[in-house]
Every structure is written in C-alpha cells, then in structure tokens.
C-alpha cells in the first residue's frame, strides 16, 4: 500500500505541474499573442504614390493601394506579412502589376497609415472596410478577385475567402493557425487565425506555396494547408527557400505557377461543386 501511494505521488506531481503549466499558457496566450504575433515597423515606412486612406465608422483610417490594369482579367488582393506595409512591399506589388494583374492591397491596424491596434478582429474589420471600397467604389467583383495571403496575411486572406465567392486564394508561407507555429499541436484553446479549420469549406481554387527550409513557419504547415483543401488545389514547394526568400529562390517557376493558377481560376466552373 505504501509503495502504491509513493508511486501515485510521483505521478501526481508531474501531472499536476503539466496541468498548471497548461492553465497558465491558456490564460496568457491572448496577451502573449498580441506581443509576439504582431510586429509593425518601428520606423515610419515609405508611402507609395496613390495610397488612399479610407474612413471607418469609428473615425479611423484604413490605408489601401490600387494599381488598376484594365486588360487584366483578375485583381490580386494582397494581404501582407508581418513587419510589412504598403511601402515596404510596393516593389513586389508593381512586379505583380507588370505580370498582368490589377493589384489591390490593404494595411493592417497599427501598420503604416492604418490607425488602431493590431488584433485578429481589428484586421478582419479593416479588411471589410477595404472590401467595401473595392466592390462598390472600384467596382471589382469578387469573381474577378484572387486573394493572396503572405505569412501572417494568410489568416485574413482565408477569412476573406470564407465571406464571399472569390476567384481563387493563394497562400505563401502561411500557418495552420497562429498558436500552432509554436505549440505544433492544437493544445491551447482560443487559437487565432485558424486557417486549417476553415480551408475545407472553401470551394475556390487554392494555391499553396512554401519553402522547404522555412524556419519561421515550418514546411509542415504548408503541406497541411494544401492537404486540407477540398476544391481544386495546386502547390509550389521550393527547395532551399526559407520564409522570406521564396520568390527569389523559386525564380521564374514562381511566376509560371502564379500565371497557371490564374488560368485555372479563369476556367468555367473552376470552383468545386
């Protein structure tokens, strides 16, 4: 009996410690997420020519950039990554424009010119303001819009794809969900940007691109996102690419895959039934 009590006590201590650690992590996760997930540039970023500041119902502003391209079949709506603004990604946006797309991009709250503090819900709200402008002022329909989420931007891009029937969705270096970048497994409740859980409901074509040597958001995230898609899907796995150099390492194959994906989106009945 004494031996059994001793064994029970040994087991109970680490189990109790693990439960306590889990509770602390669960309570601290939302606070830690705000501090660790969002990294607006500390210095004032450059402001591209043509930026428009949209007014929100709360009196704030949402910065957007539109690069029209009348012959283009699609407008590519870019959701930027962490530490990015419209100014820091302007050169790439103009490359996409030269590649044959119209371009639309939005800054998140607390990044660049957009007012407010970054959070999952504030980013979604800012994107809805931008979407109203894109649909009603610029008159670009959802059926002619390809959403493109880079890294953190995968979260708002996936969410936007759940809210209207767009032509397609591109995810570059995106995660399954925010917390799982660190925990690997879904062990913490109230996770944010739950991309993996949302993807099976989408019917538009999806392109997932990921560097095999990504040490920020591991390649397993890209693979899992691709496998979760139930509709038409494509992928580009780039050997030797990390998180921030996928386009440079992929070279022309990146642009070829992007053009081929646009062709897939243009096919009649491209969306899954």
CATH for the stretch 2-266 = 3.40.50.1820
- For the chain, what are the domain ranges? 2-266
| pLDDT number for residue 1 | 47
Instruction: Name residues of the chain where pLDDT drops below 50.
Output: 1, 3-4, 6-8, 10-13, 18-29, 32
- Catalytic, 235? Answer no
Q: Which entry of 119, 151, 177, 226 is annotated as an active-site residue?
A: 151
Please say whether the beta carbons of 122 and 116 come within 8 A: yes
Q: Which entry of 80, 210, 226, 243 is annotated as an active-site residue?
A: 243
- Catalytic, 243? Answer yes
Q: Which entry of 80, 177, 210, 214 is annotated as an active-site residue?
A: 214
* Strand 102-106 to 75-79 pairing: parallel
- Catalytic, 151? Answer yes
| pLDDT number for residue 178 | 86
pTM of the model: 0.86
| pLDDT number for residue 214 | 97
């Amino acid at each position: 009996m004494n031996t059994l009590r001793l064994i029970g006590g040994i087991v109970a201590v680490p189990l109790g410690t693990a439960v306590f650690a889990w509770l602390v992590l669960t309570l601290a996760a939302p606070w830690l997420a705000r501090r660790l997930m969002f990294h607006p540039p500390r210095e004032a970023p450059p402001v591209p020519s043509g930026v428009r500041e949209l007014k929100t119902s709360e009196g704030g502003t949402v910065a957007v950039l539109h690069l029209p391209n009348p012959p283009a079949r699609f407008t590519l709506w870019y959701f930027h990554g962490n530490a990015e603004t419209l100014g820091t990604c302007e050169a790439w946006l103009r490359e996409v424009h030269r590649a044959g797309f119209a371009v639309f991009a939005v800054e998140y709250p607390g990044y660049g010119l957009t007012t407010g503090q970054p959070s999952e819900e504030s980013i979604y709200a800012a994107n809805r303001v931008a979407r109203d402008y894109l649909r009603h002022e610029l008159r670009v329909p959802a059926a002619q819009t390809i959403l493109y989420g880079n890294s953190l931007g995968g979260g708002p891009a996936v969410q936007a794809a759940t809210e209207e029937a767009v032509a397609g969705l591109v995810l570059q270096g995106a995660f399954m969900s925010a917390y799982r970048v660190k925990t690997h497994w879904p062990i913490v409740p109230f996770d944010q940007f739950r991309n993996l859980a949302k993807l099976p409901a989408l019917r538009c074509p999806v392109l997932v691109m990921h560097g095999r040597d990504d040490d920020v958001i591991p390649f397993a995230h890209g693979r899992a996102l691709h496998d979760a898609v139930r509709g038409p899907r494509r992928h580009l796995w780039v050997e030797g690419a990390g998180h921030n150099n996928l386009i440079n390492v992929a070279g022309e194959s990146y642009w070829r895959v992007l053009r081929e994906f646009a062709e897939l989106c243009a096919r009649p009945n491209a969306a899954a039934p």
